[in-house]
């Protein structure tokens, strides 16, 4: 297939691009590189532009004879979304709506959408299944849910084929250590812990140790980024006209903050100092996925089921790329 990947210079998008290209697809990346990295994109495959630029998107869809879109583009920081809700509405929702209009105008009606567990908010019952009510508690989750609703309507009204993949905590890097995670600012736990191992920060702060969990720290579901990429390839093969489908993507189990820190200590063989800080407002004690629908509908199963193995791939990337891609301003 001829595929357009929006946000393909980002963390998850770049891993999906590599996997899909190896699968024989013709890949074009459309990205403003606001938070991604040109160095993460295969040479000659990047088209720089805004997802909300309808004329540009239409031109690319026509000229490259695109069959389907994988839509990773957007902004994804919960705290930032609380401070800048209008920015999130513009970048996530409005830009997506414009792109969907462009797709419809040229007859491209197949899409796999990068959604999030944040659409569920803070449910009290675990694990989180696709039937769990979607009640987002921040603008990030709300804008992603709104995009899902737009796609659902496109499927019903115009016969589109759409898949929404709701990620839990993406983690890890390619086993070869040549493609990985590089955010500025970094907010994900595993790379923050590994920065301590690298001597780039003095300690990791554990935000609260009095939660109703086995060790008092928050529990989350960590899924390897290459497993996420494989799910996108599977979703492409299962798009059906007129159907909107959604699947959770996680490991199916939870690990506490302390378990993550200990896994990083084992993976790196280094001491990692920690300190206890106050709880962060809005942090649910436990979040982890029910992945049975992904297993059934996509035929997908995480290959990385061991937390230390996930941390080891991340460490292989961070220790060989201590400055990340080091391409800012390029």
Dmax (CA) of the chain: 57
Q: What is the chain's length? A: 330
CB atoms under 10 Å from CB of 38, counted, come to: 16
Task: Please say whether the beta carbons of 281 and 212 come within 8 A.
Answer: no
Predicted local distance difference test score (pLDDT) of residue 327: 66
**CB burial class (10 A; 0-12, 13-18, 19+) of residue 198?**
middle
Task: Please say whether the beta carbons of 152 and 246 come within 8 A.
Answer: no
Q: Which is the catalytic residue, given 30, 88, 140, 288?
A: 140
In sign, the C-alpha dihedral spanning 247, 251, 255, 259 is negative
Predicted local distance difference test score (pLDDT) of residue 124: 87
Task: Please say whether the beta carbons of 130 and 248 come within 8 A.
Answer: yes
pTM of the model: 0.96
Residues 279-313 as b or e (16 or more Cβ within 10 Å = b): eeeeebbbbbbbbebbeebbebebebeebebbbbb
Per-residue pLDDT of the chain (330 residues; tens, 9 = 90+): 999 999 999 999 999 999 999 999 999 999 999 999 999 999 999 999 999 999 999 999 999 999 999 999 999 999 999 999 999 999 999 999 999 999 999 999 999 999 999 999 999 899 999 999 999 999 999 999 999 999 999 999 999 999 999 999 999 999 999 999 999 899 999 999 999 999 999 999 999 999 999 999 999 999 999 999 999 999 999 999 999 999 999 999 999 999 999 999 999 999 999 999 999 888 889 999 999 999 999 999 999 999 999 999 999 999 999 999 976 543
Query: Catalytic residue at 304?
Result: no
């Amino acid at each position: 297939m001829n595929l357009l990947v929006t946000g393909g210079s980002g963390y998850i998008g770049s891993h999906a691009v590599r996997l899909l290209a190896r699968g024989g697809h013709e890949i074009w990346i459309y990205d403003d590189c606001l938070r991604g990295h040109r160095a993460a994109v295969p040479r000659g495959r990047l088209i720089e532009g805004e997802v909300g630029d309808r004329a540009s998107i239409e031109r690319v869809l026509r000229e490259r004879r695109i069959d389907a879109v994988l839509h990773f583009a957007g902004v994804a920081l919960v705290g930032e979304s609380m401070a800048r809700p209008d920015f999130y509405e513009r970048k996530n929702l409005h830009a997506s709506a414009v792109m969907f209009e462009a797709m419809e105008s040229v007859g491209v009606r197949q899409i796999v959408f990068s959604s999030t567990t944040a659409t569920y908010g803070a449910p009290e019952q675990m694990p989180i299944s696709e039937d769990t009510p979607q009640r987002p508690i921040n603008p990030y989750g709300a804008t992603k849910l709104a995009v899902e609703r737009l796609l659902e309507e496109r499927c019903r009204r115009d016969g589109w084929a759409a898949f929404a993949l709701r990620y839990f905590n993406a983690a890890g890097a390619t086993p070869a250590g040549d493609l990985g995670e590089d955010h500025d600012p970094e907010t994900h736990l595993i790379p923050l812990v590994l920065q301590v191992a690298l001597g780039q920060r003095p300690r990791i702060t554990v935000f609260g140790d009095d939660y109703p969990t086995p060790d008092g720290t928050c529990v989350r579901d960590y899924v390897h980024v290459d497993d996420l990429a494989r799910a996108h390839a599977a979703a492409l093969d299962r798009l059906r006209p007129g159907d909107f489908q959604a699947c959770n993507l996680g490991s199916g189990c939870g690990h506490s903050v302390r378990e993550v820190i200990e896994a990083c200590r084992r993976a790196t063989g280094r001491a990692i100092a920690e300190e206890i800080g106050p709880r962060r407002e809005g942090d649910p004690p436990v979040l982890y996925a029910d992945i049975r629908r992904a297993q059934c509908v996509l035929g997908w199963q995480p290959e990385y089921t061991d937390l230390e193995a996930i941390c080891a791939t991340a460490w292989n990337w961070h220790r060989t790329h201590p400055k990340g891609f080091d391409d800012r301003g390029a």
